[in-house]
Structure 1
Amino acid sequence: MTEQKVKKRAWVKNAAIIFLSVMLVLTFFSNTIMNHSLAEVAASYVQSGAINAKIRGSGTVAAMESYEVKSEQSREVLSVPVQVGDEVKVGDTLVLYSDAESSQLREAEDALDALVLAYQKALLNANDSDYSKENRDIALAQKALEKAKATRDANTYSEADYAAAQANVNRADAEITQQKAIIANLESQLSGLSGGAENSAEISAKRSEISAAQKKLASAMLAYKTDYDNFINCATAWRETYPASEQQELQVYKDALYEKYTALLELTTFPTVKPSNDIIPALAAGLTYDEDTITAMAAAYNAVHTIELNISSLQSALSALYAAASADSNYYTLKSKLATEQDTLLNLQTIYNSYSTSLKKLEEKKTKFDAAQTTVEENQKTLEDLMFDLAEKQKTDGKTAASAALDLAAQRKQIDEKKEDLEKLKAGGEGASVESKVNGIVASVNVSAGKTAEADAVMMTIEVPDMGYGVSFSVTNEQSKKVKVGDAAEITNYYYGGDISATLIAIKTDPQNPGTNKILSFKLQGEVESGTQLAVSIGERGGSYDALVPNSAIRSDNNGKFVLTVVAKSSPLGNRYIATRIDVKVMASDDVNTAVSGALTTSDMVITTSTKPIEPGSQVRLAD
């Protein structure tokens, strides 16, 4: 009995120990167990500082207006005298075309010829009636048309060559007028002087030598004109690379340039790549570096300059003869100069006559071309009238099948339409060049020499700086509501030039993100260049505030704006953290922080994020 009571008390004792142990464990770990069920929050201390409520963005500076230069027809490009960055004015040449007709014009002419031929064949095969006379007339008209076209094509000329020939004649005429004035002045000076006995035979012989040399010089100038002019242009371009105060006589540069060309040509192997400017100065515009070009220019200068030196030597000898013939050296000096100027006049007249002959030949070709073109048009009309009359006769006779008549009418309509297209192409052609219609700066060039500019293709783009420069960037719809057209903006990254101001001039939908974004466009004032990257800010000026919280900490409900602060409460098992509501008023905000007023201090922690929804008064746990 006693043993049984002892066993019962042992069981009760063990049960009590187990119960107390479990309660002790739950008591010590209750805080940890409970924390796993609480929302985890991130918190940030309230701070003081400045709010800069501005909208910021960046963009590339571009002209407010640009002009696209397009080709009206497909033409082969001869040269492009401008490049990106060049400043151009109204009337400046932008693109030079080759003398070849545009592909559209050639295709239109070929298409018209093909339609006429098909129309002729259709007429001839339309029926079995005897229209031999009409067909013979058509054949003769076709032959006359082809003959007129052959005459026209044989007298094709270049407007550029015609203009150059006219300019040469005008220039030579002006030089003759100037030379006559020089001679008249010398004759006037000689009229008041008298000379002694001349060594007539020697002086006459020397004059004849000078006259012959002058004629030889005139012939050489004509024979080597193009290459000699290119040489002079290169020497002039070299001279102009020096400041005006350091420039010497042009002859110095011509002699030095000839020595450089000669040294280059004497090399065993001619350099395929142009040497530095120290070895060979830059070529004049329009010239290509190659051995043939250098050789031709050097040969032209050598031929002309050799004769010039000979003439100078002969003139010095003549002056010496004059000086020896009389004590009045001034008389014979003037007389020698007069003889030289008279020889120069004869040479100028020879050159003028050569230019006049060339111009006359071109004028004759132009006259023949215009007459032949008129004949072509008349014969074309005659041929078409004959074909149309035949078609009308066949239709009147009732011997042409209805379908054939419809086909002929359709073909006739096609011919008329093609003629209209051809006339439009002839009337709308650009000529030999494309000129700028605006003042501006070349922003892009899409064509090059030797390539074909397709019809309606943009050959280059010209920025028009007179309309000003601008910059734009994309913002959200909410940001766009904070600004209005006319607001001033600030440039924040331009430190190298003068002051730049920006004004908002447009708010447009962003085509890339039409549902969420807007494009802010600004007009710039000040010294700025196209292509510059600028940072822009617009909006209210910044201010200092006592309470700043992260934007994510701001919450709202029907009662207004508020934040949740973390309040620590002590307990026997440690601190517990309670989310406590603090009502606030939003003063200002930027992309990161919001300035508020309310019962907040810099020692308060506001909740910014949580792992689950929380309400004021909820117990939370802080993120580690």
Structure 2
Amino acid sequence: MTNNKRTRKDIIKNVAIVFLTIMLILTFFSNTIMNWSLAQVSGKYTEYGEIKTGVRGSGTVVANFTYTESVKNDSTIKELYVTRGTRVEQGTPLMLLSASNGDKAETLRGEIKSLEESYERALMQRTEYDYTSDEMAIKNATEDLNELLKEREKYSDDYVEKVKLDFENNEKALKEAKDLVESLTLQLEEIAENSEDEQVVLKRADLKRAKEAYDIALEAFEKAEEEFSKATYIDTDSYQSSLSSLYDSLDALETELRYLKEDSADLIKIDEDLKAKERALNSAIADHDKAISDFGADSDEAKAAKEAEEQARAEYDAALLIYNSNKDEVKNAIRSIEAKEKSIDSVEGDIRTIRQRMSNASSENREYESLKKVLDIKKKALDTEKENLDIKQKEYDTLVEKITGDLTLKLKDAKNKKETLEKDNEKLNEELSNVAQVENLDEQIKNEKRSLEQMTYSLEKRKESDKKSKELEDYDLGKQYRVIQEKKEELAALGGESDKGTTLYATHSGVITEVNFKPGEFIPAGSSALVIEVEESGYTLNFTVTNKEAQKLTVGDTATVSNAYWGQNLGAVLKSIQPDSTGKNKILTFELDGNAEVGQNLTLTVGEKGTYYSAVVPKSAVHEDAEGKFVYVTKEKSTPLGTRYVATRLNVTIAATDDKNSAIVTDESYIYEYVITSSTKPFEAGDYVRLSD
């Protein structure tokens, strides 16, 4: 029963809270809600400003004087050089009129013209025979050949034969010397080996033992050298430097992690509390389920477990609320700590790797040092055995020399001769390479001569062919020229050579405004062929205005030109004010000063005056209906829900206006209010509106 009462009270309380919340929201946003459907207006406050008034119009520039170009005799236009709008100078050819000769003379002139054009075209297309590139190639080939011949002159044919003969003789003598040395050496060895002299036998045995000892030492050294070549010495200084740097990085990261944990302790505690409350809730749920299973849902144990679960859930919800309100900060803190710990793990892994490499390097370096010591020992032993072998060999050779006598001297002389011949052979080999170069030069000279002969022959044949082609071209051109001369003589016989027609020239400088005939048409004597507007006579421009606008102007008023070309310095003065054919308008004629162009369209403003007014608004703000002109202004209206704006009609009189603004006059006191110039949709006086931002 008590629980039911508490539930009804909670419901009533919650309903009241919701109602008050809705009312509060409506209070705060009522202005926005009410204004949402209103017309949005833009505008500006009336201001003190200047209104420039004047009469504006556009017209086309014309010259003050026109001249008619006429023909004196009956003529036919052969060629027309100008069109309407062409600007000409005095003396410019305008058209070519037919001459007085008959049709045959006219036909001859046409033929001569056509033949002359063909002749000139043939002259321009005449072949140009240029042999510069061929002659340059022959010149270069000749220079290359001369260079080769100059190089070949260093080696005469006698020199080449002498080098070859000397080399053959030296090779023969060297072979004989080698054979003699080999023969004498074998004889000495045979005598020494067969000698029964006690000292020789002893020395021979000593030499044999020394050789065997040397061979053993050499084999041991080579084996040690092979094993040492497989060993590797690793410089651990770089490892030590890297290790020191990593330890510094590790210290810095651990310090940063410690400070990060200290700074984020509260955020970490929020995360840990949430996890602890979640574990407690899960445990309470499990206990509640177990109590229901063991004792039943209505048992005291189950009720106690349920209260414990609700308590755990409330604590979890509270912890979750705190966590959610700080979720981004908690996640960022955990993410930063995890990233820092990951960096520390990475650095520690690098340290372990380098320490392992250093350990491996130390082991390999110890092996390297051990093998190096063995190699040094073997090298020292080998050197000792080599010295001993050299001593034994020298003792043996000295003893054998005493026994053999003259034979040893012969061997010595043979060896000296062999060495001399070998040195001579080296020199002769160098000279023989020069001989090979000479043979190569001979081959190059042969090829270069053949190429030069071919190039020279080809050029001569080409010149012969071109000469024939040129003679044919000259013959054809001469034939065309003779035909032209014959036609001219025929025309002269008709008396028409000097009568090629009459050219009509411009009498004045100006712009062609009329062309009355086309090429081929007949022009009677005295007819107007062309009309020229003479620019030097000056320029005028006119346009039509209303009688009311004309009343503001006086002859002599200065006008401004608003659309002249860049750099075009133009001025205008009102020359006359004349009524038009209807009598309702006036024609304003202006005299232009400056470098105007006939046919140019200009816009002029005349009688422009500026007057300042106390209330100036944009022209778009002024409206008109049956009651007259008016503007809309906004009036503020206070309401319980805030300030609102009402569009209010303000009747005005337009004192003056220009292209953009109007000066208004009214008896109302709120003329300086905010004037509406545009709106998103129609509205009427008295409607609420909302102002644009």
Q: Report the TM-score, using the length of structure 2 for normalisation.
A: 0.34
Q: Report the TM-score, using the length of structure 1 for normalisation.
A: 0.37
Bigger radius of gyration: 2
